[in-house]
Structure 1
Amino acid sequence: MDLNHYLELFIEESKEHLQTINDELLKLEAEPENLTVIQEIFRSAHTLKGMAGSMGFEDLASLTHQMENVLDMLRNAKLKITSEIMDCIFQCVDLIETMVDSIEQGGDGKADVSEVVMKLELIQDPSRAGHLNPINREAAATQKLLVDEYQLSVIDEAKKTGNHLYQMTITLDEKCIMKSVRAYMVFQAAEEFGEIIQTQPAVDQIEEENFEQSFTLLLLSESGIQDIQKQLLNISEVKEVIVIEKTTQELEKNRKSAARDEGNPTQSNNNSSGEKKKPRSKSIRVDIDKLDQLMNLFSELIIDRGRLEQISRSSQILELSETVEHMTRISTDLQGLILNMRMVPVEQVFNRFPRMVRDLAKELDKKVHLSVAGEETELDRTVIDEIGDPLVHLLRNALDHGLETTEERIAAGKPEEGNVLLKAYTSGNHVFIEVADDGKGINRDKVLHKGLERGIVSQEEAKKLTDQQVYSLIFSSGFSTADTISDISGRGVGLDVVKTKIESLGGSIMIQSTPGKGSIFRIQLPLTLSIILSMLVKVEEETYAIPFSSIVEITKITKEQIATIHGQKVIQFRGQVVPLVFLKEIFHVPSVENHFAGEGLFIVIVKRGEQTAGLVVDSVLGQQEVVLKSLGGYLNNIYAISGATILGNGEVALIIDSNQFIQ
């Protein structure tokens, strides 16, 4: 059987189970007596083992099997949780993740698991096997399988033709790593002798390996007990087969007894007609490339819609106008649906950080509590794919340089355990992600001194800088306030990368800090990067699009209102001095003869963080949704241009990245 078809599903589901195990292990470390958490970890490990075994990844299945044994002892109170056991299980999970990553990259998933397996075996009680209680003959004899009236009538008719009714209890070897496969082989072998009437547990539970080492079935057969036993015992990893002949009177007695006892849990495990079926899942997995292709096709539709709207306005044909209006409504709804399909909860990024914080806190010998809020907040998939690394940098810096050591916190009158908050929330057309800590805050004087030392700011500029502007210095390339260099680094290492990445996503980052109380790093991101609402403006005969998210206000001034300060042209706007950026000069737009710019100048006020600038344009055409298209590999890193779009008249308009005008 070709398993490559299932490989992608195996990788995806393995990652989900590993994430569940990681999350639950962190809960277990905080609540070591919580059996519910152990059961959840065990279920995920058990499923992962079965999946690995069925796909033929033996090292992965073997390691997970040994980990499952330890978890089984924990849930049965044969072991007590210690930090050594937790560290060993975490080590197992790390190794399993490495093996799954290897498989995803096209490898064979093999690894040297002997050392970890030895640790797991040492944790286990050597006499564990002797304490297992496989179903013995007496237990098998008292095992009750419930049948309905129809099944009883079938059994009665079969007995009249010389068939026997056998109750068979099959016990698999403790080391069996593919129980569902062995059970299927048992079913196949048993059906060679007759007809299976009933199983305990139900067939779907056996297929999901939702049973211990034993399962029971009822078989109608003309063959003898010894022949059936011999055949089933020949199946690999079948440890014991107990076959007992049953009478219809015994089955009838069991059925009536169960009917009187409505609370009998056995009833929920049989295949009777009254069994409630689990509702089917209403979700399907869709390949990401297909979603991207759907978005690209819809983007073309948006361009054509704009063209049709323009034709409709100029033609003044009533039927065309009505049709275009209806098409606009439909396409707007379709756009919302497609964008929602691409939206992914930030939980997919957030859920890997609790484990990272736990390991980093141990490495730094600090007590840290990570709180996560707003993980249900949704972002476009393209943004989700890129935001993980910047958040890793911010969290590592919060732990290493933001939070004090235990001794420093006690001396400052703070709790020993430091707090880090990772929070996401939506506001308007933006998503905000905050990384906050209750540490010592950013030392303003130290940052400013480093800035002066490195020549990032001059003495004259330093006197005028606000706290926010001083804190922003730590985003300068290579800037660090750390006294010593470590693998984890100081507050500034990597933050220039963070800033660059976030701005490439059309976002921004700002800092709030209070000495002695902590810092907040706030990231602002657009909901989506594919279709953006923009303001179309004209410079001479060229059309440009400015993202609406950057615009504060649009105003019109006369040339007399423009002043010059230190060679920079500025205007006074709402009590603030705003520097002007003349797009015609920046983009070298050629002048057109007889071009009429009208009286005065239009100024588009744009904002980046706390800073503003005014973009000088000839006219404002109005707002429009545009499709963001890349300029391709030959036009990389064009100053202040983030992409292009095609307008309804077929004209190409460049999309302005206003962030680059504000330093």
Structure 2
Amino acid sequence: MDMNQYLSMFIDESNDHLQSLNENMLQLESSPDDLGIVQVIFRSAHTLKGMAATMGFEDLASLTHQMENVLDLVRNEKLKMQDFIFDTLFKSLDALESMVQDIVQGGEGKADVSSIVASLQAIVRGEGAVAPSAEAASTQQPDSAPVYPGIELDEFQYSVLDQSIAEGHKVLYIQVKLREDCQLKAVRAYMVFELLERSGEIVKTYPDVQEIEQGEFDQTFSLYFITQKDPINLESQILNISEMDTAAVTNLDHESLQQMVQQSAATAEPVQKENETSSTSADAIATTSSKNEGSGAPSPSKAPSKNTGTAAPSRTIRVDIERLDVLMNLFSELLIDRVRLEQLANEAKNQELTDTVEHMSRVSSDLQNIVLKLRMVPVDTVFNRFPRMVRDLAKSLNKKIDLIITGAETELDRTVIDEIGDPLVHLIRNSVDHGVEPIADRVAAGKSETGTVHLRAFHSGNHVFIEIEDDGRGIIRENIINSAIKKGVVTEEQAAALSDEEAHQLLFAAGFSTAEKISDVSGRGVGLDVVKSKINSLGGNVTIYSTPGRGTNFSVQLPLTLSIIAAMLIKMGSEKYAIPLTSIVETGIIKQAQIRTVHGTRMIPFREAHIPLISLSRVFEVPDFNESTEEETEIVVIRKGERLAALAIDDFIGQNEIVIKNLGKYLPSIQGVSGATILGDGQVALIIDPNAFIK
């Protein structure tokens, strides 16, 4: 076995261990006294450290060793888990994941994690200090110390600064004032940040970074900064930037840092009282935990329950994805030949040949089921990233959220699994940010402080449904309509005629957002339009159900597999096409007299309603067929979500299982065509994409 094979094994195993560490850390956060979970976490970290050291990735091994030291104290009951310890360990896991990704991309797994290591070492020494309480705020502040109200630190930020001083780093308090005639405040502030980030780490700013980036501040901003650079040199470099008025750089020691924090807490208290109901307050975001401390309620985004006992021996093997793709391609060719043999046996009318072909068909059908199951992957491989994501979002948004996952064992084709992750990220972030209300709003509405987001998956027919449901404020029609009119998505006249369902669909318009303020989470109008286009490209669709005041449900419908599907084969003159059975409602025959033209669109009656009639011969410019010359026309009624349409065709060939083939890079994308298949007689038939015909 060569080194590349060892590296591949290391990457796979490392990702498994990191996922296990994230899941078990989330469990431990909800049950901090459960030493059984700590033992599992410690073993995973120890194994990861040994693997990294063996492969020569010293930075990765060193950081994991520092985590081990903290976990060893916890499992020996010499240290109690606290919020700032959880935050530090989660940051360590993020750093480890970044290192592994660097290795995947051909790097050496190196990263600057000195601040994280310093925090872990401080925890081991028992110096993970809590920021001084407001009671000590009366301590006399030296006249020479800078004063700038509002820049408060949480426990973790204070601990990082304090331990950086202990480790010999310089901790600076920098206050910058721009000239009164400065026209581009945000640009000048960005230039200051860029200068500083080249030589150290910015821990906290006032105002918040988002407000500074948008120019929503007076001429002054301040920050805490960790560096090894000379303060006087930094001050001169800042003043060299255009339109700077003053730059005050103060080097802090343990005592002056403590006094600074006390002064900020005292001077910012009146401001906090005024803004205590604001869910977007920067200080509230920095200092409020999303955990239900001491309430016994489930912690936010808790991971699925795992058995912390000894695991049973694994009965699985790792198979390279490319090998499965080759196996599927070979089986696809076998399926094409099977259909051809069935046709030849019917034509030859030889009983022995017919019996043999029928037996081969049964065997190949069983083989087909096995091959397809090999490609099926539990959606858990996608879902397992979300508990940690929801936890971090809840903390940053000052919300309490419980993520409940059901149906994680539901299986989907690997091709779908690879593509569905990003759309689900957008939908869950949307539920956490827009759906679940801030704590104060939930209490005022008579709800519990902790919001709930359900992530569930289940089979239904030949589809898998994934639902993201929250118990938040629901979708307010007026907010959508007003935002859509403001952004020019619809006119006031069009908006007045929209049903609630059609109004909900406006959320998927490109650039649409109801967020009043741009943040790291949302507000830029990028997200739901990407979700819809990606899901449609997979042959699925997404539907919104919402009740104001009670919550919203995003339901994503996906095909089980994208490689072999059941289809209806049809004729259009001398050409053959395939329509996926999952999109067909029914087939039928209509007479020319039943066709009506409404505003330039041909319509036909269907179940006490009228639906559009689409001529495939015109769309695909079929030269030897035109249904308008026929007295009766055969139709296929197709569905996209709740919308229906009818396709006019020449004749039906019959149902069959077909193998989807890409059209390749040499052909441009063709509207209404999702791929092609090879029929039993060797002919190529285009596969129709019904979604393209229903807007």
Work out whether the TM-score is over 0.5.
yes
Q: Does 1:44 align with 2:44?
A: yes
Q: Does 1:505 align with 2:538?
A: yes
Report how far residue 309 of structure 1 moved: 1.2
Q: Does 1:313 align with 2:346?
A: yes
- Deviations 1:236-280 (Å, cap 9, x if unpaired)? xxxxxxxxxxxxxxxxxxxxxxxxxxxxxxxxxxxxxxxxx9986
What is aligned with 2:469?
436
Partners in 1 of 2:374 and 2:516 — Cα distance? 47
Partners in 1 of 2:403 and 2:540 — Cα distance? 25
Partners in 1 of 2:34 and 2:590 — Cα distance? 68
**Residues 1:118 and 1:279: Cα distance change in structure 2 (over 3 Å):** closer
The DSSP-based 3-state class of the residue aligned with 2:666 is helix
Partners in 2 of 1:2 and 1:628 — Cα distance? 36
The DSSP-based 3-state class of the residue aligned with 1:67 is helix
Counterpart AA for 2:640: R
TM-score, normalised relative to structure 1: 0.75
Report how far residue 598 of structure 1 moved: 7.0
Report percent identity of matched pairs. 57
The DSSP-based 3-state class of the residue aligned with 2:404 is strand
Say whether the 8 Å CA contact 1:507–1:524 is kept in structure 2.
yes
Partners in 2 of 1:459 and 1:356 — Cα distance? 38
Counterpart AA for 1:321: T
**Residues 1:505 and 1:649: Cα distance change in structure 2 (over 3 Å):** same
Q: 2:677 aligns with which of 631, 640, 645?
A: 645
Say whether the 8 Å CA contact 2:572–2:625 is kept in structure 1.
no
**Residues 1:279 and 1:501: Cα distance change in structure 2 (over 3 Å):** closer
Partners in 2 of 1:320 and 1:24 — Cα distance? 59
Counterpart AA for 2:418: D
Report how far residue 492 of structure 1 moved: 5.5
Q: Does 1:302 align with 2:322?
A: no
What is aligned with 2:580?
547
Partners in 2 of 1:8 and 1:97 — Cα distance? 15
The DSSP-based 3-state class of the residue aligned with 2:408 is coil
Say whether the 8 Å CA contact 1:401–1:491 is kept in structure 2.
no
Q: Does 1:397 align with 2:430?
A: yes
**Residues 1:497 and 1:491: Cα distance change in structure 2 (over 3 Å):** same
Q: Does 1:616 align with 2:616?
A: no
Say whether the 8 Å CA contact 1:540–1:597 is kept in structure 2.
no
Counterpart AA for 2:79: L
Partners in 2 of 1:509 and 1:385 — Cα distance? 18
Q: Does 1:589 align with 2:611?
A: no
Q: 1:329 aligns with which of 362, 366, 379?
A: 362
What is aligned with 1:95?
95
**What does residue range 571-586 of structure 1 map to in structure 2 within 5 Å?**
571-586=604-619
Q: Does 1:114 align with 2:146?
A: no
**Residues 1:403 and 1:109: Cα distance change in structure 2 (over 3 Å):** same
Partners in 2 of 1:74 and 1:51 — Cα distance? 23
Unaligned runs of 5+ in 2: 128-309
Report how far residue 281 of structure 1 moved: 3.9
Say whether the 8 Å CA contact 2:511–2:524 is kept in structure 1.
no
**Residues 1:73 and 1:378: Cα distance change in structure 2 (over 3 Å):** same
Report how far residue 649 of structure 1 moved: 0.8
Partners in 1 of 2:34 and 2:63 — Cα distance? 24
Counterpart AA for 1:611: R
Say whether the 8 Å CA contact 2:595–2:604 is kept in structure 1.
yes
Say whether the 8 Å CA contact 1:562–1:570 is kept in structure 2.
yes
Q: Does 1:603 align with 2:621?
A: no
Say whether the 8 Å CA contact 2:592–2:630 is kept in structure 1.
no
**Residues 1:83 and 1:380: Cα distance change in structure 2 (over 3 Å):** same
Partners in 2 of 1:481 and 1:561 — Cα distance? 44
**What does residue range 368-387 of structure 1 map to in structure 2 within 5 Å?**
368-387=401-420
What is aligned with 2:596?
563
Say whether the 8 Å CA contact 1:444–1:467 is kept in structure 2.
yes
**Residues 1:86 and 1:126: Cα distance change in structure 2 (over 3 Å):** closer
The DSSP-based 3-state class of the residue aligned with 1:634 is coil
Say whether the 8 Å CA contact 1:508–1:525 is kept in structure 2.
yes
Report how far residue 487 of structure 1 moved: 2.1
Partners in 2 of 1:477 and 1:16 — Cα distance? 36
Report how far residue 125 of structure 1 moved: 3.4
The DSSP-based 3-state class of the residue aligned with 1:119 is helix
Say whether the 8 Å CA contact 1:397–1:491 is kept in structure 2.
no
**Residues 1:352 and 1:552: Cα distance change in structure 2 (over 3 Å):** same
Report how far residue 592 of structure 1 moved: 5.7
Partners in 1 of 2:552 and 2:648 — Cα distance? 37
- Deviations 1:516-536 (Å, cap 9, x if unpaired)? 111000000000000011101
Say whether the 8 Å CA contact 1:603–1:617 is kept in structure 2.
yes
Q: 2:443 aligns with which of 410, 416, 426?
A: 410
The DSSP-based 3-state class of the residue aligned with 1:107 is coil
Q: 2:393 aligns with which of 341, 357, 360?
A: 360
What is aligned with 2:281?
none
Say whether the 8 Å CA contact 2:375–2:414 is kept in structure 1.
yes
**Residues 1:597 and 1:648: Cα distance change in structure 2 (over 3 Å):** farther
Report how far residue 454 of structure 1 moved: 3.9
Partners in 2 of 1:461 and 1:566 — Cα distance? 17
Say whether the 8 Å CA contact 1:400–1:490 is kept in structure 2.
no
The DSSP-based 3-state class of the residue aligned with 1:421 is strand
Counterpart AA for 2:680: G
Counterpart AA for 2:642: E
Partners in 1 of 2:365 and 2:2 — Cα distance? 43
Q: Does 1:423 align with 2:463?
A: no
**Residues 1:426 and 1:492: Cα distance change in structure 2 (over 3 Å):** farther
Say whether the 8 Å CA contact 1:401–1:490 is kept in structure 2.
no
- Deviations 1:90-118 (Å, cap 9, x if unpaired)? 11111111111111111111122322222
**What does residue range 57-68 of structure 1 map to in structure 2 within 5 Å?**
57-68=57-68
**Residues 1:579 and 1:520: Cα distance change in structure 2 (over 3 Å):** same
Say whether the 8 Å CA contact 1:32–1:81 is kept in structure 2.
yes
**Residues 1:400 and 1:557: Cα distance change in structure 2 (over 3 Å):** same
Report how far residue 61 of structure 1 moved: 0.9
Say whether the 8 Å CA contact 2:568–2:578 is kept in structure 1.
yes
Partners in 1 of 2:659 and 2:543 — Cα distance? 28
Q: Does 1:654 align with 2:686?
A: yes
The DSSP-based 3-state class of the residue aligned with 1:449 is helix
**What does residue range 35-434 of structure 1 map to in structure 2 within 5 Å?**
35-125=35-125, 281-434=314-467
Partners in 2 of 1:494 and 1:543 — Cα distance? 38
**Residues 1:280 and 1:419: Cα distance change in structure 2 (over 3 Å):** closer
The DSSP-based 3-state class of the residue aligned with 1:519 is strand
Partners in 2 of 1:417 and 1:280 — Cα distance? 39
Q: Does 1:631 align with 2:663?
A: yes
Report how far residue 637 of structure 1 moved: 2.4
Report how far residue 646 of structure 1 moved: 0.6
Say whether the 8 Å CA contact 1:310–1:648 is kept in structure 2.
yes
- Deviations 1:458-496 (Å, cap 9, x if unpaired)? 455434432111101111111111112222114963100
Counterpart AA for 2:632: G
Partners in 2 of 1:315 and 1:459 — Cα distance? 68
**Residues 1:592 and 1:25: Cα distance change in structure 2 (over 3 Å):** closer
The DSSP-based 3-state class of the residue aligned with 1:635 is coil
Say whether the 8 Å CA contact 1:598–1:618 is kept in structure 2.
no
Say whether the 8 Å CA contact 1:398–1:491 is kept in structure 2.
no
Say whether the 8 Å CA contact 1:597–1:618 is kept in structure 2.
no
What is aligned with 1:248?
none
Report how far residue 591 of structure 1 moved: 2.0
**Residues 1:59 and 1:569: Cα distance change in structure 2 (over 3 Å):** same
Superposition RMSD on alpha carbons, in Å?
A: 2.0
Partners in 2 of 1:13 and 1:381 — Cα distance? 19
Partners in 1 of 2:452 and 2:314 — Cα distance? 38
Counterpart AA for 1:552: V
Counterpart AA for 1:47: T
Partners in 2 of 1:491 and 1:104 — Cα distance? 31
Report how far residue 573 of structure 1 moved: 0.7
TM-score, normalised relative to structure 2: 0.72
